[in-house]
Structure 1
Amino acid sequence: MTLVAPQIRLRRPRLATLLTGAGVALVPWMAVLAQTLPRTVEVSNWPAAWIGLDAGLALGLAGTGVLLRRGDPRVSPVAAATGALLLMDAWFDVTTSAGPERVMAVALAVCAELPLAVACGVVAARRVL
């Protein structure tokens, strides 16, 4: 085991540097997008995109519940991923809606998606710590 640990330690800083650099590189890219993307677009396969996201949420929520009930330690990454999907869903629901639809999107975000995301975050954090 002592031979494996040094290899992991050597690779971790490289991966950390790569991930940090990728995050920092996205900042100027976001500025480019803010200046160049059109305010409105027509989108193909819109229903498939939203149904796919909701299918992922359904699997994540059900999987988190099943793994939590069983006391399975694999619940942490599933809960973390599901929480992230819930935050993304709330963001896109609110930012892609207008008028009365936006009121409904905000209500769903505040009453369902964000509280569920927090619950998933708590499950993920408690199982990791």
Structure 2
Amino acid sequence: MSQSHTCVTGQVSGPLCPVEEVLDHVSGKWSIGIVVALAAGPMRFTELERHVKGISRRMLTLNLRKLERDGLLLRTVYPTVPPKVEYALTDIARDLNESFATLIAWAERSRHSITEARVDYDQEHGAAAAS
């Protein structure tokens, strides 16, 4: 089975991006971390780097560009020496963050049940089945 994408970088006309592509962009590990971190307010690159645990500078840069292109982030450059750059959520990203907050609350409520289910499964099917 092959997957195809109708939206290509630089393609302006044509059909809207499919829902799967939008979900892929916003559901990535780093995208979620960036949106959740920026929910506290605008941040500079190095602040974001500290808040999003484990992200490399390159991955942060790539994800910031992707989220800005998708209209989820505002990048503001202040005319100072050296230039000051801040990132902030747009209205649609704040709306998205509400969904993330709901998902995070569900994960916190469900983590013990999931852990118990994993233990039960591993005991029934053997530890090798868990990987």
TM-score by length of 2: 0.28
Q: Which has the higher contact order (CA 8 A, sep 6+)?
A: 1
Higher helix residue share = 1
Higher strand residue share = 2
